[in-house]
Structure 1
Amino acid sequence: MGNHHEGQRVSRRRMLVGVSSVGLGALVTACAGKSAVTTSTGETVELQAVTDADLTALFDGARTCTLAASTTQGPYYFDADKIRSDIREDKQGAKLRLALQLQDSETCKPIPHAVVEIWQCDAGGLYSGAEAASGGGGGTPPTGSPPPGGGDADLVPADDKRYLRGAQVTNQLGIVDFMTIWPGWYRGRTVHVHVMVHVGNEKTLTTQLMFDEALNAKVLATQPYVQHTGRDTFNDGDYIYRPSMLLKVTQARDGYVGSIVLNADPDHDGG
């Protein structure tokens, strides 16, 4: 989505408590009503700026108030201090536009002004700030995340790389969108994107997004993904995968568009 703070290093934690030089209010104002997502044009879609009214069409058929499944944050999370929509940097891969809408699981109403972070591996299974730990340099492939219930300690990054990590603030319709690439895979895990949602100064939801295996097969058979061989874990064998985590994916002329409605419980009352 349009944001003149794009690329600025703004700590999510400092932003939420209002002591950053670029406050949450300014970021929300910049985001609201300026989302750049996709609109349907026949059998394909194009990535373009659309109005808030058009934007809701992405989430047709996904109207549910079921609380999104929570997961461990995994071993490779840290606050990347990056408010931006395009998180690709120099990473090559199939272009993927992610449009996420955040709702309250009790009321089904959008949640505006929330901070949504995403992070993922590149086409070779590597995470920025943790390339050695995640199998960098052609070394031992990374293993999967710890079982649910563990792995929630923040990573101390080993370098200043921040590719395929970023955060956005939901607009009045609870929507954020990111430009990224289709994730690769690493040993013990299926293809996925991590998501963390913060409402106020509370961590409200940590979850993951998955992809249909027919599409995974299609994308992973192309460059540069095909250089990473030996995939060992698919959706049906992944211990975190749930059908509710599957993105609705549409092929675009220049990549793919993935959308999903995420229902969170800001009150933490189980509703």
Structure 2
Amino acid sequence: MQHDIEDHDRGLAHDLTVIRDRMMDRRRALAWFAGAGAGALVTGCGGGSGDTASASTAGTSTSSATTSTGTTSTGTTSSTTTTTTTTTTTSGTYIADPAETAGPYPGDGTNSASGSTNNVLIQSGIVRSDIRPSFLSGSTNVAAGVPVTLTLTLVNVSASGAPLAGYAIYLWHCDRSGNYSLYSAPAESYLRGVQVTDANGQVTFTTIFPGCYDGRWPHIHFEVYASLSTATSGRNALLTSQLALPSATCSTVYNGATGYSTSISNFSRITLTSDNVFGDNTAAQIAQQTPTMTGSVADGYVATAVIGIAR
């Protein structure tokens, strides 16, 4: 009786051919399923090539991309997605200082007091490091108080904290009694001055520790200008902001130095949270705005702070 020839009757050569063909079919199937699975994974995450790149680099970029979908003006850390990376308002350890009010006593030509407008930025003598003496209206009185040597470093947060040379910084604050020259101390012009940043982006002012007046946390005002030549009007400032003085140093000075008696009770009634300028800032912004201070009432203080702007 004749029967059909089965595969196992065809010999070793036939068997090897069959095994090879089946293995190739299996590989094709596995490749197809792998491709389909990867596509499903990307679709499920809502992603594309841009999201894949940003997921691996989020929060690490130190420069802004031109295709960024958003920016932050307050200096808080928040990321924005591009097709290649994720940018943030931080650059390394630097953040942009938040803009703050110049207050009612800027003396930069933007407001008037007692019917007159004061603009010390156009006055001869305003460019100086030691801002303790008055220099206008014939007064040479020197503001009394605990000495402070304050060094500010201006950096570009869009370029990994690179120093900004040739910029002008105008700095002013109240005296130890809480009065501002040209305003509540109209005969005086002390505690105001301009310096130009050096190659390290730094300026240094010699001043006094400000008093604390009612309703405000102890602070120092400043404005940043692109150059000394543009610092002739308060309307040209790139940044107007304030420094918040360290709480521990405030307590030490107000309770240990002469002439600060009214600051003791004023300071006891204010906190950074309740302050109408610093109260809505983030912890990172407050840290940026608070100078590091070392020293004593007897010897004076050395203070440093970084000012970040995006250029």
TM range (shorter): 0.5 to 0.7
User: Aligned residue for 2:175?
Assistant: 122
Aligned-pair Cα RMSD in Å: 1.8
Deviation string for 1:199-239 (max 9, x for gaps)? 14341111111122111011011211025553032323212
Q: Point out the structure with max Rg over C-alpha.
A: 2
- Asked if structure 2 preserves the Cα contact closer than 8 Å seen for 1:120 and 1:183, the reply is yes
Structure 2 residue ranges without an equivalent (≥5): 1-91, 109-119, 134-141, 231-235, 279-285
Structure 1 residue 264, shift from structure 2 partner: 1.0
Deviation string for 1:89-123 (max 9, x for gaps)? 21111110100000111002111110001000001
Structure 1 residue 187, shift from structure 2 partner: 1.6
- Asked if structure 2 preserves the Cα contact closer than 8 Å seen for 1:93 and 1:182, the reply is yes
Q: Number of residues paired by the alignment?
A: 178
Structure 1 residue 124, shift from structure 2 partner: 0.5
Are 1:101 and 2:145 matched, yes or no?
A: no
- Map of 1:87-98 to 2, 5 A cutoff? 87-89=131-133, 90-98=142-150
User: Aligned residue for 2:130?
Assistant: 86
1:170 to 197, 202, 216: 197
Residue type of the partner of 2:132? R
| Separation in 2, partners of 1:236, 1:216 | 16
| Separation in 1, partners of 2:303, 2:263 | 23
Determine helix, strand or coil for the equivalent of 1:193: strand
2:290 to 234, 246, 267: 246
Question: What is the TM-score of this pair, normalised by structure 1?
Answer: 0.62
| Separation in 1, partners of 2:164, 2:264 | 41
| Separation in 2, partners of 1:229, 1:219 | 9
| Separation in 2, partners of 1:88, 1:211 | 18
Are 1:230 and 2:304 matched, yes or no?
A: no
User: Aligned residue for 1:193?
Assistant: 220
Q: Which stretches of structure 1, 4 residues or longer, exceed 4 Å deviation after superposition?
A: none
- Asked if structure 2 preserves the Cα contact closer than 8 Å seen for 1:98 and 1:257, the reply is yes
Structure 1 residue 188, shift from structure 2 partner: 1.2
Residue type of the partner of 1:122? D
Choose between structure 1 and 2: higher strand proportion.
1
Residue type of the partner of 1:203? A
Question: What is the TM-score of this pair, normalised by structure 2?
Answer: 0.54
What fraction of aligned residue pairs are identical, expressed as a percent?
A: 31
Q: Which moved more, 1:73-82 or 1:163-172?
A: 73-82
| Separation in 2, partners of 1:100, 1:113 | 13
| Separation in 2, partners of 1:111, 1:189 | 31
Deviation string for 1:28-86 (max 9, x for gaps)? xxxxxxxxxxxxxxxxxxxxxxxxxxxxxxxxxxx732111110111100232311110
- RCO higher in structure (CA 8 A, sep ≥6): 1
- Asked if structure 1 preserves the Cα contact closer than 8 Å seen for 2:145 and 2:176, the reply is yes
Choose between structure 1 and 2: higher helix proportion.
2
- Asked if structure 2 preserves the Cα contact closer than 8 Å seen for 1:117 and 1:197, the reply is yes
Deviation string for 1:237-264 (max 9, x for gaps)? 2122233211111116720011011111
| Separation in 1, partners of 2:146, 2:250 | 11
Are 1:264 and 2:309 matched, yes or no?
A: yes
Residue type of the partner of 2:157? S
Are 1:74 and 2:106 matched, yes or no?
A: no
1:213 to 225, 247, 257: 247
Deviation string for 1:114-160 (max 9, x for gaps)? 000100000110000001xxxx6xxxxxxxxxxxxxxxxxxxxxx45
Determine helix, strand or coil for the equivalent of 2:144: coil
- Asked if structure 2 preserves the Cα contact closer than 8 Å seen for 1:213 and 1:234, the reply is no
Structure 1 residue 186, shift from structure 2 partner: 1.3
| Separation in 2, partners of 1:211, 1:243 | 11
Determine helix, strand or coil for the equivalent of 1:180: strand
